[in-house]
Structure 1
Amino acid sequence: MKIAIVTDSTSYLPAELVQKYDIKIVPVEVVFDGKTYKEDIDINTSEFYDLLQSSPELPSTAQPSMGEMINIYDDLAKEGYDTIISIHLASTISGFVNNLKTAAQTIENADVRVIDSQITTRLMGYQVEYAAMQASKGKSVDEIIDGIHDLQTTTGEAFVVNDLKNLVKGGRLSNTSAVIGTMLQIKPLLEFDNETHQIVAYDKVRSIKKAKLKAEEKLANAYKNADYQLRMLVIDGDDIQAGNEWAEHLKEVYPDVKIDRSYFGPVIGTHLGKGALAVAWIKEFDR
Protein backbone atom coordinates (compact mmCIF):
# COMPACT_ATOMS: atom_id res chain seq x y z
CA MET A 1 0.00 0.00 0.00
CA LYS A 2 1.30 3.42 -0.98
CA ILE A 3 -0.51 6.31 0.76
CA ALA A 4 -0.53 9.93 -0.42
CA ILE A 5 -1.45 12.78 1.92
CA VAL A 6 -3.38 15.77 0.54
CA THR A 7 -4.53 18.91 2.33
CA ASP A 8 -5.40 22.51 1.57
CA SER A 9 -3.35 25.63 2.14
CA THR A 10 -5.16 26.59 5.36
CA SER A 11 -3.15 23.91 7.18
CA TYR A 12 -0.20 26.37 7.15
CA LEU A 13 2.34 23.57 7.33
CA PRO A 14 6.04 24.44 7.53
CA ALA A 15 7.76 23.95 4.16
CA GLU A 16 10.21 21.44 5.60
CA LEU A 17 7.38 19.12 6.65
CA VAL A 18 5.69 19.39 3.27
CA GLN A 19 8.96 18.46 1.59
CA LYS A 20 9.89 15.73 4.07
CA TYR A 21 6.64 13.82 3.65
CA ASP A 22 5.82 14.91 0.08
CA ILE A 23 2.45 16.32 1.17
CA LYS A 24 0.26 17.71 -1.61
CA ILE A 25 -1.03 21.20 -0.77
CA VAL A 26 -4.05 22.53 -2.67
CA PRO A 27 -4.34 26.35 -2.54
CA VAL A 28 -7.58 27.98 -1.43
CA GLU A 29 -8.34 31.32 -3.12
CA VAL A 30 -8.81 34.82 -1.74
CA VAL A 31 -10.80 37.37 -3.75
CA PHE A 32 -10.00 41.09 -3.45
CA ASP A 33 -12.03 43.58 -5.50
CA GLY A 34 -12.83 40.94 -8.10
CA LYS A 35 -9.24 39.69 -8.40
CA THR A 36 -8.48 36.13 -7.35
CA TYR A 37 -5.28 35.08 -5.57
CA LYS A 38 -4.19 31.53 -4.74
CA GLU A 39 -3.03 31.42 -1.14
CA ASP A 40 0.77 31.22 -0.75
CA ILE A 41 1.19 31.16 -4.54
CA ASP A 42 -0.15 34.47 -5.86
CA ILE A 43 -0.17 36.23 -2.49
CA ASN A 44 1.77 35.73 0.72
CA THR A 45 0.65 36.54 4.24
CA SER A 46 2.36 39.93 4.49
CA GLU A 47 1.01 41.07 1.11
CA PHE A 48 -2.47 39.94 2.10
CA TYR A 49 -2.60 41.97 5.31
CA ASP A 50 -1.30 45.04 3.47
CA LEU A 51 -4.16 44.67 0.99
CA LEU A 52 -6.60 44.05 3.81
CA GLN A 53 -5.67 47.39 5.35
CA SER A 54 -5.91 49.35 2.10
CA SER A 55 -8.85 47.71 0.32
CA PRO A 56 -12.25 49.46 0.64
CA GLU A 57 -14.03 46.10 0.36
CA LEU A 58 -13.78 43.05 2.60
CA PRO A 59 -12.23 40.08 0.78
CA SER A 60 -13.94 36.75 0.25
CA THR A 61 -12.66 33.22 -0.27
CA ALA A 62 -13.25 30.59 -2.95
CA GLN A 63 -12.71 26.85 -2.67
CA PRO A 64 -10.70 24.84 -5.19
CA SER A 65 -12.77 23.40 -8.02
CA MET A 66 -13.79 19.78 -7.95
CA GLY A 67 -12.22 19.34 -11.38
CA GLU A 68 -8.88 20.47 -9.98
CA MET A 69 -9.17 18.05 -7.08
CA ILE A 70 -10.08 15.10 -9.32
CA ASN A 71 -7.06 15.87 -11.51
CA ILE A 72 -4.84 15.89 -8.41
CA TYR A 73 -6.16 12.51 -7.28
CA ASP A 74 -5.78 11.05 -10.79
CA ASP A 75 -2.20 12.31 -11.01
CA LEU A 76 -1.34 10.77 -7.64
CA ALA A 77 -2.81 7.45 -8.77
CA LYS A 78 -0.66 7.60 -11.90
CA GLU A 79 2.36 8.14 -9.63
CA GLY A 80 1.61 4.79 -7.99
CA TYR A 81 -0.43 5.83 -4.95
CA ASP A 82 -3.29 3.39 -4.42
CA THR A 83 -4.65 5.20 -1.33
CA ILE A 84 -5.13 8.94 -0.74
CA ILE A 85 -5.96 10.57 2.59
CA SER A 86 -7.29 14.07 1.92
CA ILE A 87 -7.69 16.28 5.02
CA HIS A 88 -9.45 19.64 4.77
CA LEU A 89 -10.86 22.61 6.67
CA ALA A 90 -14.01 22.21 8.73
CA SER A 91 -17.29 21.66 6.92
CA THR A 92 -18.86 24.21 9.30
CA ILE A 93 -16.87 27.03 7.70
CA SER A 94 -16.65 25.79 4.11
CA GLY A 95 -18.67 23.47 1.89
CA PHE A 96 -15.46 22.26 0.28
CA VAL A 97 -14.97 19.03 2.21
CA ASN A 98 -18.55 17.81 1.68
CA ASN A 99 -18.37 18.59 -2.04
CA LEU A 100 -15.08 16.76 -2.13
CA LYS A 101 -16.53 13.65 -0.53
CA THR A 102 -19.01 13.42 -3.39
CA ALA A 103 -16.40 14.10 -6.07
CA ALA A 104 -13.99 11.56 -4.62
CA GLN A 105 -16.50 8.79 -5.25
CA THR A 106 -15.83 9.18 -8.98
CA ILE A 107 -12.16 8.21 -8.58
CA GLU A 108 -11.76 4.62 -9.71
CA ASN A 109 -7.99 4.13 -9.73
CA ALA A 110 -7.35 4.94 -6.05
CA ASP A 111 -9.04 4.64 -2.67
CA VAL A 112 -9.67 8.28 -1.67
CA ARG A 113 -10.55 8.97 1.98
CA VAL A 114 -11.74 12.55 2.54
CA ILE A 115 -11.47 13.74 6.16
CA ASP A 116 -13.29 16.68 7.71
CA SER A 117 -10.65 18.04 10.10
CA GLN A 118 -13.39 19.85 12.10
CA ILE A 119 -10.92 22.73 12.43
CA THR A 120 -8.42 24.68 10.30
CA THR A 121 -5.02 26.46 10.60
CA ARG A 122 -2.00 24.63 12.00
CA LEU A 123 -4.35 22.59 14.21
CA MET A 124 -5.53 20.91 11.01
CA GLY A 125 -1.90 20.79 9.97
CA TYR A 126 -1.16 18.63 13.00
CA GLN A 127 -3.67 16.06 11.73
CA VAL A 128 -1.95 16.16 8.33
CA GLU A 129 1.49 15.85 9.90
CA TYR A 130 0.33 12.90 12.01
CA ALA A 131 -1.14 11.15 8.96
CA ALA A 132 2.06 11.64 6.98
CA MET A 133 4.23 10.37 9.86
CA GLN A 134 2.11 7.25 10.28
CA ALA A 135 2.01 6.57 6.54
CA SER A 136 5.82 6.77 6.46
CA LYS A 137 5.89 4.11 9.19
CA GLY A 138 3.73 1.76 7.14
CA LYS A 139 0.53 2.09 9.15
CA SER A 140 -2.71 1.10 7.41
CA VAL A 141 -5.19 3.69 6.19
CA ASP A 142 -7.73 2.65 8.82
CA GLU A 143 -5.15 2.91 11.62
CA ILE A 144 -4.21 6.40 10.41
CA ILE A 145 -7.79 7.61 10.18
CA ASP A 146 -8.61 6.24 13.63
CA GLY A 147 -5.61 8.15 14.97
CA ILE A 148 -6.77 11.36 13.28
CA HIS A 149 -10.20 11.04 14.86
CA ASP A 150 -8.55 10.49 18.25
CA LEU A 151 -6.46 13.64 17.81
CA GLN A 152 -9.58 15.62 16.95
CA THR A 153 -11.06 14.83 20.37
CA THR A 154 -8.01 16.34 22.11
CA THR A 155 -8.01 19.67 20.27
CA GLY A 156 -8.93 22.96 21.91
CA GLU A 157 -8.45 26.63 21.15
CA ALA A 158 -9.27 30.21 22.10
CA PHE A 159 -9.24 32.95 19.48
CA VAL A 160 -8.95 36.64 20.37
CA VAL A 161 -10.08 38.91 17.52
CA ASN A 162 -10.25 42.65 16.99
CA ASP A 163 -12.84 42.76 14.24
CA LEU A 164 -15.83 40.48 13.65
CA LYS A 165 -17.13 42.17 10.48
CA ASN A 166 -16.18 39.44 8.06
CA LEU A 167 -17.03 36.51 10.35
CA VAL A 168 -20.50 37.95 10.79
CA LYS A 169 -20.88 38.94 7.12
CA GLY A 170 -19.87 35.49 5.96
CA GLY A 171 -22.22 33.76 8.39
CA ARG A 172 -19.36 31.87 10.02
CA LEU A 173 -20.06 33.00 13.57
CA SER A 174 -23.01 30.95 14.76
CA ASN A 175 -24.02 33.06 17.78
CA THR A 176 -23.63 36.58 16.42
CA SER A 177 -26.04 38.02 18.98
CA ALA A 178 -23.58 37.10 21.73
CA VAL A 179 -21.07 39.66 20.50
CA ILE A 180 -23.17 42.65 19.50
CA GLY A 181 -21.27 44.53 22.19
CA THR A 182 -18.15 44.62 20.01
CA MET A 183 -19.28 48.06 18.90
CA LEU A 184 -18.41 49.10 22.46
CA GLN A 185 -14.85 47.79 22.10
CA ILE A 186 -15.63 44.45 23.73
CA LYS A 187 -13.13 41.75 22.77
CA PRO A 188 -14.84 38.41 22.12
CA LEU A 189 -13.19 35.05 22.66
CA LEU A 190 -14.04 32.47 20.03
CA GLU A 191 -13.73 28.70 19.83
CA PHE A 192 -14.85 25.77 17.72
CA ASP A 193 -17.73 24.28 19.68
CA ASN A 194 -16.94 20.67 20.65
CA GLU A 195 -20.38 19.40 19.65
CA THR A 196 -21.28 21.41 16.55
CA HIS A 197 -17.73 22.31 15.42
CA GLN A 198 -19.05 25.77 14.59
CA ILE A 199 -17.21 28.97 15.51
CA VAL A 200 -18.90 30.47 18.57
CA ALA A 201 -18.19 33.30 20.99
CA TYR A 202 -17.86 31.83 24.49
CA ASP A 203 -16.84 34.93 26.44
CA LYS A 204 -16.12 38.64 26.02
CA VAL A 205 -14.01 41.18 27.87
CA ARG A 206 -12.96 44.79 27.38
CA SER A 207 -9.27 44.47 26.52
CA ILE A 208 -6.85 42.24 24.68
CA LYS A 209 -4.93 41.72 27.93
CA LYS A 210 -8.02 40.37 29.71
CA ALA A 211 -8.95 38.29 26.68
CA LYS A 212 -5.54 36.62 26.71
CA LEU A 213 -5.88 35.89 30.42
CA LYS A 214 -9.28 34.27 29.78
CA ALA A 215 -7.74 32.22 26.97
CA GLU A 216 -4.95 31.13 29.32
CA GLU A 217 -7.54 30.02 31.88
CA LYS A 218 -9.07 27.73 29.28
CA LEU A 219 -5.63 26.41 28.36
CA ALA A 220 -4.78 25.79 32.02
CA ASN A 221 -7.98 23.78 32.50
CA ALA A 222 -7.17 21.65 29.47
CA TYR A 223 -3.63 21.05 30.75
CA LYS A 224 -4.88 20.15 34.23
CA ASN A 225 -7.56 17.74 33.02
CA ALA A 226 -5.66 15.96 30.24
CA ASP A 227 -4.37 12.48 31.04
CA TYR A 228 -1.85 12.75 28.19
CA GLN A 229 0.97 15.10 27.20
CA LEU A 230 -0.20 18.24 25.39
CA ARG A 231 1.40 20.23 22.62
CA MET A 232 0.55 23.94 22.59
CA LEU A 233 0.39 26.49 19.80
CA VAL A 234 0.29 30.28 19.52
CA ILE A 235 -1.06 31.77 16.28
CA ASP A 236 -0.97 35.39 15.15
CA GLY A 237 -2.61 37.41 12.39
CA ASP A 238 0.25 39.61 11.19
CA ASP A 239 1.43 40.46 14.71
CA ILE A 240 4.56 38.34 15.03
CA GLN A 241 5.87 40.23 18.05
CA ALA A 242 2.68 39.73 20.07
CA GLY A 243 2.62 36.04 19.13
CA ASN A 244 6.26 35.53 20.08
CA GLU A 245 5.82 37.29 23.40
CA TRP A 246 2.79 35.15 24.25
CA ALA A 247 4.63 31.97 23.29
CA GLU A 248 7.64 32.92 25.44
CA HIS A 249 5.34 33.58 28.38
CA LEU A 250 3.69 30.18 27.97
CA LYS A 251 7.08 28.48 27.81
CA GLU A 252 7.81 29.86 31.28
CA VAL A 253 4.46 28.59 32.59
CA TYR A 254 4.70 25.18 30.87
CA PRO A 255 8.42 24.31 30.64
CA ASP A 256 7.66 20.63 29.97
CA VAL A 257 5.41 21.32 26.95
CA LYS A 258 6.40 21.84 23.32
CA ILE A 259 4.98 25.22 22.25
CA ASP A 260 4.82 25.93 18.53
CA ARG A 261 4.24 29.15 16.61
CA SER A 262 2.10 29.63 13.55
CA TYR A 263 0.11 32.27 11.71
CA PHE A 264 -3.29 33.06 10.21
CA GLY A 265 -2.64 33.14 6.47
CA PRO A 266 -4.74 34.95 3.86
CA VAL A 267 -7.77 32.63 3.80
CA ILE A 268 -8.28 32.49 7.58
CA GLY A 269 -7.13 36.10 7.94
CA THR A 270 -10.00 37.02 5.63
CA HIS A 271 -12.39 35.92 8.38
CA LEU A 272 -10.47 36.86 11.54
CA GLY A 273 -8.86 40.12 10.44
CA LYS A 274 -5.51 41.69 11.24
CA GLY A 275 -4.16 41.35 14.77
CA ALA A 276 -6.05 38.20 15.75
CA LEU A 277 -4.31 35.92 18.23
CA ALA A 278 -4.99 32.38 19.35
CA VAL A 279 -3.72 29.82 21.79
CA ALA A 280 -4.45 26.19 21.02
CA TRP A 281 -3.56 22.69 22.14
CA ILE A 282 -3.67 19.07 21.03
CA LYS A 283 -2.43 15.72 22.31
CA GLU A 284 1.31 15.36 21.70
CA PHE A 285 1.64 12.90 18.82
CA ASP A 286 5.39 12.99 18.21
CA ARG A 287 6.83 11.64 21.43
Structure 2
Amino acid sequence: MRIAVVTDSTAYLTDEQCEKYSIYRLPLSIAMGNETIEETKMDSTSFFEKVKTMDGLPTSSQPAIGQASLLFNELSKKYDAVISIHLSSELSGTFNTIASLSKIYEGLAIYPYDSGISCSAQGYFVLEAARMARENASVEEIFQKFEKMQQTLRAYFVVDDLNHLVRGGRLSNGSAIIGSLLKIKPILHFEDKKITVFEKIRTKKKALKRIEQLLSEDVEKGYPIVATIIHANVEQEAIEWMKTLKKHHPAIRYELSYFGPVIGTHLGEGALGLTWMEDQTKI
Protein backbone atom coordinates (compact mmCIF):
# COMPACT_ATOMS: atom_id res chain seq x y z
CA MET A 1 0.00 0.00 0.00
CA ARG A 2 1.32 3.43 -0.94
CA ILE A 3 0.84 5.74 2.06
CA ALA A 4 1.14 9.54 1.95
CA VAL A 5 1.92 11.51 5.09
CA VAL A 6 0.13 14.82 5.63
CA THR A 7 0.45 17.26 8.50
CA ASP A 8 -0.41 20.88 9.19
CA SER A 9 1.90 23.83 9.36
CA THR A 10 2.09 23.84 13.17
CA ALA A 11 4.52 20.91 13.14
CA TYR A 12 6.99 23.57 11.93
CA LEU A 13 8.95 21.19 9.76
CA THR A 14 11.42 22.76 7.37
CA ASP A 15 10.89 22.80 3.62
CA GLU A 16 13.94 20.56 3.36
CA GLN A 17 12.43 17.97 5.70
CA CYS A 18 9.14 17.96 3.81
CA GLU A 19 10.90 17.56 0.49
CA LYS A 20 13.28 14.88 1.72
CA TYR A 21 10.54 12.74 3.28
CA SER A 22 7.69 13.58 0.85
CA ILE A 23 5.58 15.18 3.58
CA TYR A 24 2.56 17.26 2.56
CA ARG A 25 1.40 20.27 4.59
CA LEU A 26 -1.95 21.96 5.12
CA PRO A 27 -1.33 25.53 6.31
CA LEU A 28 -3.21 27.18 9.13
CA SER A 29 -3.71 30.93 8.79
CA ILE A 30 -3.31 34.08 10.85
CA ALA A 31 -5.70 37.03 10.73
CA MET A 32 -3.87 40.30 11.42
CA GLY A 33 -6.30 43.17 11.17
CA ASN A 34 -7.95 42.97 7.75
CA GLU A 35 -5.28 40.64 6.36
CA THR A 36 -5.32 36.84 6.52
CA ILE A 37 -2.01 35.10 5.85
CA GLU A 38 -1.09 31.43 5.62
CA GLU A 39 1.54 30.96 8.30
CA THR A 40 3.88 29.18 5.89
CA LYS A 41 4.16 32.51 4.06
CA MET A 42 5.30 34.55 7.07
CA ASP A 43 8.44 34.05 9.12
CA SER A 44 8.24 34.27 12.90
CA THR A 45 10.42 37.36 13.25
CA SER A 46 8.24 39.37 10.88
CA PHE A 47 5.14 38.08 12.63
CA PHE A 48 6.19 39.14 16.12
CA GLU A 49 7.35 42.53 14.84
CA LYS A 50 3.97 43.12 13.26
CA VAL A 51 2.13 42.02 16.41
CA LYS A 52 3.86 44.84 18.31
CA THR A 53 2.15 47.38 16.04
CA MET A 54 -1.35 45.94 16.53
CA ASP A 55 -3.95 47.10 19.03
CA GLY A 56 -5.27 43.56 19.60
CA LEU A 57 -3.93 40.06 19.18
CA PRO A 58 -4.04 38.13 15.90
CA THR A 59 -6.37 35.17 15.57
CA SER A 60 -5.69 31.81 13.95
CA SER A 61 -7.85 29.66 11.71
CA GLN A 62 -7.68 26.07 10.49
CA PRO A 63 -7.26 25.04 6.86
CA ALA A 64 -10.43 25.27 4.79
CA ILE A 65 -12.09 21.94 4.04
CA GLY A 66 -11.91 22.78 0.33
CA GLN A 67 -8.15 23.20 0.60
CA ALA A 68 -7.85 19.78 2.24
CA SER A 69 -10.07 18.22 -0.43
CA LEU A 70 -7.88 19.61 -3.19
CA LEU A 71 -4.78 18.13 -1.57
CA PHE A 72 -6.42 14.72 -1.11
CA ASN A 73 -7.60 14.80 -4.73
CA GLU A 74 -4.01 15.20 -5.85
CA LEU A 75 -2.74 12.52 -3.48
CA SER A 76 -5.35 10.04 -4.69
CA LYS A 77 -3.57 9.98 -8.06
CA LYS A 78 -0.41 8.52 -6.49
CA TYR A 79 -1.37 6.96 -3.16
CA ASP A 80 -3.78 4.43 -1.71
CA ALA A 81 -4.01 5.95 1.77
CA VAL A 82 -3.14 9.05 3.77
CA ILE A 83 -2.06 9.36 7.39
CA SER A 84 -2.92 12.93 8.38
CA ILE A 85 -1.23 14.06 11.60
CA HIS A 86 -2.43 17.23 13.33
CA LEU A 87 -2.06 19.47 16.33
CA SER A 88 -4.13 18.85 19.43
CA SER A 89 -7.86 18.89 18.82
CA GLU A 90 -8.14 21.05 21.96
CA LEU A 91 -6.13 23.80 20.24
CA SER A 92 -7.67 23.72 16.78
CA GLY A 93 -10.52 22.18 14.81
CA THR A 94 -8.09 20.93 12.14
CA PHE A 95 -8.12 17.30 13.27
CA ASN A 96 -11.92 17.21 13.52
CA THR A 97 -12.26 18.69 10.05
CA ILE A 98 -10.00 16.04 8.55
CA ALA A 99 -11.74 13.32 10.57
CA SER A 100 -15.11 14.43 9.18
CA LEU A 101 -13.73 14.55 5.66
CA SER A 102 -12.28 11.06 6.02
CA LYS A 103 -15.78 9.64 6.55
CA ILE A 104 -17.18 10.95 3.27
CA TYR A 105 -14.15 11.08 1.00
CA GLU A 106 -14.08 8.47 -1.76
CA GLY A 107 -11.11 7.16 -3.68
CA LEU A 108 -8.56 7.49 -0.90
CA ALA A 109 -8.44 6.05 2.62
CA ILE A 110 -7.75 8.88 5.07
CA TYR A 111 -6.50 8.07 8.57
CA PRO A 112 -6.44 11.20 10.78
CA TYR A 113 -4.28 11.28 13.90
CA ASP A 114 -4.67 13.70 16.81
CA SER A 115 -1.13 14.16 18.15
CA GLY A 116 -2.53 15.75 21.30
CA ILE A 117 0.24 18.33 21.12
CA SER A 118 1.87 20.65 18.58
CA CYS A 119 5.14 22.05 17.16
CA SER A 120 8.23 19.82 17.09
CA ALA A 121 6.57 17.22 19.30
CA GLN A 122 3.93 16.83 16.62
CA GLY A 123 6.74 16.76 14.08
CA TYR A 124 8.25 13.67 15.72
CA PHE A 125 5.18 11.68 14.71
CA VAL A 126 5.18 13.10 11.19
CA LEU A 127 8.82 12.26 10.54
CA GLU A 128 8.49 8.75 11.96
CA ALA A 129 5.36 8.08 9.88
CA ALA A 130 7.18 9.23 6.74
CA ARG A 131 10.15 7.02 7.53
CA MET A 132 7.99 3.98 8.17
CA ALA A 133 5.86 4.61 5.07
CA ARG A 134 9.05 4.54 2.99
CA GLU A 135 9.84 1.16 4.48
CA ASN A 136 6.40 -0.10 3.43
CA ALA A 137 4.95 -0.28 6.95
CA SER A 138 1.19 -0.63 7.18
CA VAL A 139 -1.17 2.00 8.60
CA GLU A 140 -1.76 -0.25 11.59
CA GLU A 141 2.00 -0.60 12.25
CA ILE A 142 2.48 3.17 12.06
CA PHE A 143 -0.37 3.85 14.50
CA GLN A 144 1.03 1.22 16.85
CA LYS A 145 4.34 3.07 16.76
CA PHE A 146 2.54 6.32 17.56
CA GLU A 147 1.10 4.72 20.69
CA LYS A 148 4.57 3.65 21.77
CA MET A 149 6.02 7.10 21.07
CA GLN A 150 3.40 8.78 23.21
CA GLN A 151 4.70 6.86 26.23
CA THR A 152 8.05 8.69 26.28
CA LEU A 153 6.96 12.02 24.82
CA ARG A 154 7.45 15.03 27.10
CA ALA A 155 6.98 18.75 26.41
CA TYR A 156 7.32 21.69 28.79
CA PHE A 157 7.42 25.40 28.10
CA VAL A 158 7.56 28.79 29.76
CA VAL A 159 5.87 31.96 28.49
CA ASP A 160 6.58 35.60 29.27
CA ASP A 161 2.92 36.61 29.36
CA LEU A 162 0.10 34.22 30.31
CA ASN A 163 -2.50 36.65 29.00
CA HIS A 164 -1.90 35.53 25.42
CA LEU A 165 -3.07 32.04 26.33
CA VAL A 166 -6.03 33.30 28.30
CA ARG A 167 -7.27 35.72 25.64
CA GLY A 168 -6.98 32.96 23.06
CA GLY A 169 -9.00 30.62 25.27
CA ARG A 170 -6.13 28.15 25.71
CA LEU A 171 -5.63 28.47 29.47
CA SER A 172 -7.95 29.06 32.43
CA ASN A 173 -8.36 32.64 33.64
CA GLY A 174 -7.50 31.68 37.19
CA SER A 175 -4.01 30.56 36.23
CA ALA A 176 -3.31 33.86 34.50
CA ILE A 177 -4.54 35.96 37.42
CA ILE A 178 -2.32 34.06 39.86
CA GLY A 179 0.63 34.43 37.50
CA SER A 180 0.12 38.18 37.16
CA LEU A 181 -0.26 38.76 40.89
CA LEU A 182 2.70 36.71 41.99
CA LYS A 183 4.93 37.43 38.98
CA ILE A 184 5.55 33.74 38.58
CA LYS A 185 6.80 31.91 35.48
CA PRO A 186 4.76 28.70 35.51
CA ILE A 187 5.91 25.67 33.61
CA LEU A 188 3.19 24.66 31.18
CA HIS A 189 2.58 21.29 29.54
CA PHE A 190 -0.10 19.34 27.73
CA GLU A 191 -2.51 17.29 29.77
CA ASP A 192 -5.44 15.53 28.08
CA LYS A 193 -4.52 17.49 24.94
CA LYS A 194 -4.97 20.81 26.78
CA ILE A 195 -2.36 23.35 27.90
CA THR A 196 -2.26 23.38 31.69
CA VAL A 197 0.04 24.57 34.46
CA PHE A 198 2.53 21.85 35.45
CA GLU A 199 4.27 23.75 38.24
CA LYS A 200 4.39 27.35 39.44
CA ILE A 201 7.96 28.70 39.51
CA ARG A 202 9.07 32.16 40.64
CA THR A 203 11.52 33.00 37.84
CA LYS A 204 12.17 31.96 34.26
CA LYS A 205 15.70 30.86 35.15
CA LYS A 206 14.39 28.52 37.84
CA ALA A 207 11.65 27.25 35.51
CA LEU A 208 14.22 26.28 32.88
CA LYS A 209 16.31 24.58 35.56
CA ARG A 210 13.28 22.56 36.61
CA ILE A 211 12.69 21.47 33.02
CA GLU A 212 16.34 20.39 32.85
CA GLN A 213 15.74 18.31 35.98
CA LEU A 214 12.74 16.61 34.34
CA LEU A 215 14.90 15.80 31.33
CA SER A 216 17.59 14.35 33.59
CA GLU A 217 15.04 12.02 35.17
CA ASP A 218 14.30 10.51 31.76
CA VAL A 219 17.98 10.35 30.81
CA GLU A 220 18.52 8.15 33.86
CA LYS A 221 16.06 5.62 32.42
CA GLY A 222 18.72 4.66 29.90
CA TYR A 223 17.01 4.93 26.52
CA PRO A 224 18.36 7.17 23.72
CA ILE A 225 16.71 10.60 23.59
CA VAL A 226 16.10 13.27 20.98
CA ALA A 227 15.35 16.71 22.43
CA THR A 228 14.22 19.88 20.68
CA ILE A 229 14.53 23.40 22.05
CA ILE A 230 11.70 25.58 20.75
CA HIS A 231 11.63 29.36 20.92
CA ALA A 232 9.36 32.30 20.10
CA ASN A 233 11.73 34.76 18.41
CA VAL A 234 14.48 34.38 21.03
CA GLU A 235 16.85 32.18 19.06
CA GLN A 236 20.02 33.24 20.87
CA GLU A 237 18.47 32.42 24.24
CA ALA A 238 17.46 29.01 22.87
CA ILE A 239 21.00 28.38 21.56
CA GLU A 240 22.50 29.26 24.94
CA TRP A 241 20.08 26.89 26.66
CA MET A 242 21.03 24.15 24.23
CA LYS A 243 24.71 24.67 25.09
CA THR A 244 23.88 24.23 28.77
CA LEU A 245 21.87 21.07 28.09
CA LYS A 246 24.67 19.61 25.97
CA LYS A 247 27.15 20.07 28.81
CA HIS A 248 24.95 18.08 31.18
CA HIS A 249 23.70 15.48 28.70
CA PRO A 250 26.04 15.20 25.70
CA ALA A 251 24.59 11.87 24.53
CA ILE A 252 21.23 13.41 23.61
CA ARG A 253 20.56 14.31 19.97
CA TYR A 254 19.55 17.98 20.05
CA GLU A 255 17.52 19.98 17.56
CA LEU A 256 16.46 23.63 17.41
CA SER A 257 12.99 24.74 16.32
CA TYR A 258 10.56 27.59 16.80
CA PHE A 259 7.01 28.57 17.68
CA GLY A 260 5.56 29.86 14.42
CA PRO A 261 2.81 32.47 13.98
CA VAL A 262 -0.19 30.27 14.87
CA ILE A 263 1.23 28.88 18.10
CA GLY A 264 3.13 32.12 18.73
CA THR A 265 -0.22 33.93 18.76
CA HIS A 266 -1.18 31.96 21.86
CA LEU A 267 2.20 31.85 23.63
CA GLY A 268 3.59 35.29 22.84
CA GLU A 269 7.11 36.39 22.05
CA GLY A 270 9.84 35.15 24.39
CA ALA A 271 8.38 31.70 25.06
CA LEU A 272 10.84 28.84 25.43
CA GLY A 273 10.09 25.14 25.38
CA LEU A 274 11.76 21.75 25.45
CA THR A 275 10.27 18.57 24.07
CA TRP A 276 11.86 15.14 24.03
CA MET A 277 11.18 11.47 23.56
CA GLU A 278 12.90 8.17 22.88
CA ASP A 279 15.01 8.65 19.75
CA GLN A 280 13.34 6.52 17.09
CA THR A 281 16.42 6.72 14.84
CA LYS A 282 18.48 4.80 17.43
CA ILE A 283 16.10 1.96 18.20
TM-score, length basis structure 2? 0.96
How far the C-alpha of 1:74 sits from its partner, in A, is: 1.3
For 2:276, what is the secondary structure of its paired residue?
A: strand
CA contact (8 A) 1:118 1:152 kept: no
Q: Tell me which of 196, 215, 219 is aligned to 2:215.
A: 219
How far the C-alpha of 1:186 sits from its partner, in A, is: 1.5
Between the aligned partners of 2:275 and 2:142, the Cα distance in structure 1 is: 22
Query: Partner amino acid for 2:269?
Result: K
What corresponds to 1:54 in structure 2?
Answer: 53
For 1:24, what is the secondary structure of its paired residue?
A: strand
CA contact (8 A) 2:117 2:193 kept: yes
Q: Tell me which of 101, 114, 117 is aligned to 2:115.
A: 117
Identity within the alignment, %: 36
What corresponds to 2:240 in structure 1?
Answer: 245
How far the C-alpha of 1:86 sits from its partner, in A, is: 0.5
Q: Specify every segment of 5 or more residues in structure 2 that has no aligned partner in the other structure, as ranges.
A: none
What corresponds to 2:102 in structure 1?
Answer: 104
CA contact (8 A) 1:74 1:107 kept: no
CA contact (8 A) 1:219 1:280 kept: no
CA contact (8 A) 1:27 1:40 kept: yes
Query: Partner amino acid for 1:54?
Result: T
Between the aligned partners of 1:209 and 1:121, the Cα distance in structure 2 is: 23
Q: Specify every segment of 5 or more residues in structure 1 that has no aligned partner in the other structure, as ranges.
A: none
Between the aligned partners of 1:199 and 1:159, the Cα distance in structure 2 is: 10
2:274 pairs with 1:279 = yes
The within-5 A match list for 1:258-269 is 258-269=253-264
How far the C-alpha of 1:151 sits from its partner, in A, is: 1.0
CA contact (8 A) 1:29 1:61 kept: yes
How far the C-alpha of 1:280 sits from its partner, in A, is: 1.4
TM-score, length basis structure 1? 0.94
How far the C-alpha of 1:178 sits from its partner, in A, is: 3.2
CA contact (8 A) 1:179 1:188 kept: no
Runs of 4+ in 1 over 3 A off after TM superposition: none
What corresponds to 1:11 in structure 2?
Answer: 11
Query: Partner amino acid for 1:181?
Result: I
How far the C-alpha of 1:166 sits from its partner, in A, is: 2.2
How far the C-alpha of 1:251 sits from its partner, in A, is: 0.7
Root-mean-square deviation (Å):
1.3
